[in-house]
A = this chain, B = another copy of it.
């Protein structure tokens, strides 16, 4: 990646004298940004372009350029790539569109391009991209004149147009950018490459990514796992409609959005839903001290703005309105009018002077319990927003806590906001956004140790799986039967209720006595698919007499409902009791195996809440997953019920993870339900649905 961001020389293939053409714009921008290395315009016609002598072909260049930028029609790109390969160029940005995103022919062209670049070991950004920028290298290879101020934010955008929007924002708000790259079709270089490079880049302090779908989930997870910097992502296509729109314009198929939530949650990626939030998060993280505690103190000259900020503290995760210490309140009391409130949110009132706001802020910064502060002011005549802005700007470095500001309104606030902006003080048009910014800052602090302390059980049922896969393969099946699935669970040490097939009432009683009451009895017949429809399942049988009676009843019911049915016998099975939950493992195409957990039984339909997580999970992560769901309220003993055996549930989860990691051939494995017994009574897998591939 170094050759892309800090090249010593650049060739522009398709450089043009026509100022309306991308080939001219890019060359002009490389020159205009102050790039100090060698520049080679290449155009079959030769001549002078932007004051530099153009070469007629890559072949005749005197040196091997470190980076090449292609701005040609799509159908010319492959030939030129071949030439670059022969020349020995190892880094190429393909600006040109007309590939995968456009048509099946374009897709073929892209495959060909990939082949050539693989052959010559050329790394490629694009095609169908907007170029890249390194402000610390005076480098702009985009075809836009937008060149941001220099700073610590590095940006990566799948979409060029969204990238342009980001650049425009950074210029407007004076938010310093380090690197920018537009990835386009991500034929070769993708988000993971960019993140890995930004991770090592000393000039990058925070990373912002716009993506419509991660194409190589495992590499993405690896890159972010190792990252020691905050990362903010806008992953669009959250909804079905959005996802359709995304795949229609990039040709990429995005995975299920709920998986992204699980991935981002695990990797501590700050997920934002819209551009405003992206910008708010990036600017506050880039310009602020870390927020070491969750307590927020609010100072305002307008009670109403304080109320809105208090509401926003309740809305946002990870922060809360702090209680000021009595000492802090006493000290503030001396600075503000006797009628003003020293409670948080501190309301210095509409007739407050600048000094009252600034003095209160200083006092608050000394309070040990405060993690960050928000200053709000309404454009009233008693204060001068501009000098408050100057005072905050001046204090910013000396205070130990981060500060966000909101002067909501319009014309009267603009000047003050521009003072703040110039000085890198994050400010927002409304109190709730100033508070939300603090919550981003708080999220940016949390460490990232995604796959630590994961202890999986030793038992392996791999041999049994291979055996069953072999049988299924011979029978051309893509799924296993319930019995087969359960035998895998058993092999991995997951408790499955005992089950015996009998053909005589006497044997049924013997079986029940051995298994232990209560039992469930089911008719077993290849001719009866839906047992319950004919009353072929009897639950909660508690005595030998009842077992005997049930046996006869089942045989009778079967005989009268389906007279010709071949009867294999009756299955006698332990009746598991407890809370029904669902555990399910599925392999996401992008991110690999995911474990899903939620309430089972009728609750699924009513509550519809399923929590998903990447695996493996540590013990803490399993706890967090279980406790984040409504199922937990049920399991921990709602309404006087005894608490359930969560430890045994976690044991089953660990064994499910082992199955997922050891058997890539198992595509999906769902246990619905797991019956979670009372504390110390264990949990049981009552059903198993297994899909293989």
Tell me the A residues contacting B by CB distance below 8 Å: 25, 97-98, 102-103, 130, 143-146, 157-162, 164-173, 210, 212, 234, 236-242, 244-246, 248-250, 273-276, 300-308, 310-315, 320-321, 339, 341, 343, 345, 347, 350, 378-381, 408-414, 429-433, 599, 602-603, 605-607, 630, 633-634, 638-639, 641
Q: Specify which chain B residues have a CB less than 8 angstroms from the CB of A306 in the assembled complex.
A: 245, 249
Q: Is B312 touching A274 in the complex (CB atoms < 8 A)?
A: yes
Interface pairs A-B: 8 shortest CB-CB = A172-B410, A161-B302, A168-B409, A159-B304, A239-B314, A249-B303, A161-B378, A242-B311
Further 11 A-B residue pairs, CB within 8 A, beyond A245-B306, A245-B345, A276-B429: A159-B304, A161-B303, A162-B302, A167-B409, A212-B304, A236-B304, A238-B311, A245-B343, A273-B311, A275-B429, A275-B431
Q: Is A145 touching B381 in the complex (CB atoms < 8 A)?
A: yes
Q: Specify which chain B residues have a CB less than 8 angstroms from the CB of A301 in the assembled complex.
A: 161
From B168, B245, B321, B638, A310 is in contact (CB under 8 Å) with: B245
Q: Is A350 touching B160 in the complex (CB atoms < 8 A)?
A: yes
From B245, B307, B380, A164 is in contact (CB under 8 Å) with: B380
Q: Specify which chain B residues have a CB less than 8 angstroms from the CB of A237 in the assembled complex.
A: 307, 310-311
Q: Specify which chain B residues have a CB less than 8 angstroms from the CB of A431 in the assembled complex.
A: 274-275
Nearest Cβ on chain B to A174's Cβ, whole angstroms: 10
Q: Is B341 touching A275 in the complex (CB atoms < 8 A)?
A: no
Q: Is A408 touching B165 in the complex (CB atoms < 8 A)?
A: yes
Q: Is B241 touching A314 in the complex (CB atoms < 8 A)?
A: yes
Q: Specify which chain B residues have a CB less than 8 angstroms from the CB of A171 in the assembled complex.
A: 410-412
Chain B residue nearest in CB terms to A313 = B241
Q: How far is the CA of A657 from the CA of B602 in the complex (A)?
A: 32
Q: How far is the CA of A98 from the CA of B170 in the complex (A)?
A: 46
Q: Is B307 touching A339 in the complex (CB atoms < 8 A)?
A: no
From B143, B276, B341, B411, A430 is in contact (CB under 8 Å) with: B276
Chain B residue nearest in CB terms to A532 = B640
The binding surface of chain A is classed by DSSP as helix
- Stoichiometry, as copies per complex, reads 2
Q: How far is the CA of A343 from the CA of B411 in the complex (A)?
A: 40
Q: Is B146 touching A210 in the complex (CB atoms < 8 A)?
A: no
Q: Given A164-B378, A307-B249 in contact, is the A240-B169 Cβ separation under 8 Å?
A: no
From B144, B242, B313, B414, A381 is in contact (CB under 8 Å) with: B144
Q: Is A172 touching B241 in the complex (CB atoms < 8 A)?
A: no
Q: Specify which chain B residues have a CB less than 8 angstroms from the CB of A242 in the assembled complex.
A: 307-308, 310-311, 314
Q: How far is the CA of A171 from the CA of B411 in the complex (A)?
A: 7
From B239, B240, B350, B599, A161 is in contact (CB under 8 Å) with: B350
Nearest Cβ on chain B to A172's Cβ, whole angstroms: 2
Q: How far is the CA of A596 from the CA of B261 in the complex (A)?
A: 34
Q: Specify which chain B residues have a CB less than 8 angstroms from the CB of A341 in the assembled complex.
A: 248-249
Q: How far is the CA of A237 from the CA of B345 in the complex (A)?
A: 12
Q: Specify which chain B residues have a CB less than 8 angstroms from the CB of A409 in the assembled complex.
A: 164-169, 172
Q: How far is the CA of A606 from the CA of B604 in the complex (A)?
A: 12
Q: Given A159-B302, A160-B350, A238-B314 in contact, is the A307-B246 Cβ separation under 8 Å?
A: yes
Q: Specify which chain B residues have a CB less than 8 angstroms from the CB of A246 in the assembled complex.
A: 303, 307
Q: Specify which chain B residues have a CB less than 8 angstroms from the CB of A210 in the assembled complex.
A: 304
Q: Is B165 touching A302 in the complex (CB atoms < 8 A)?
A: yes
Q: Given A241-B314, A245-B306 in contact, is the A638-B275 Cβ separation under 8 Å?
A: no
Q: Specify which chain B residues have a CB less than 8 angstroms from the CB of A169 in the assembled complex.
A: 408-410
Nearest Cβ on chain B to A199's Cβ, whole angstroms: 24
Q: Is B275 touching A380 in the complex (CB atoms < 8 A)?
A: no
Q: Specify which chain B residues have a CB less than 8 angstroms from the CB of A158 in the assembled complex.
A: 304
Cross-chain pairs A/B with CB under 8 angstroms, 19 sampled: A97-B339, A157-B304, A159-B302, A159-B305, A161-B301, A164-B409, A165-B305, A165-B379, A168-B410, A212-B304, A236-B304, A236-B307, A237-B310, A244-B310, A245-B345, A246-B303, A275-B308, A276-B432, A603-B606
Q: Is B274 touching A638 in the complex (CB atoms < 8 A)?
A: no
Q: Is B146 touching A343 in the complex (CB atoms < 8 A)?
A: no
Q: How far is the CA of A274 from the CA of B432 in the complex (A)?
A: 7
Q: Is B241 touching A274 in the complex (CB atoms < 8 A)?
A: no
Q: How far is the CA of A164 from the CA of B302 in the complex (A)?
A: 10
From B102, B240, B303, A159 is in contact (CB under 8 Å) with: B303
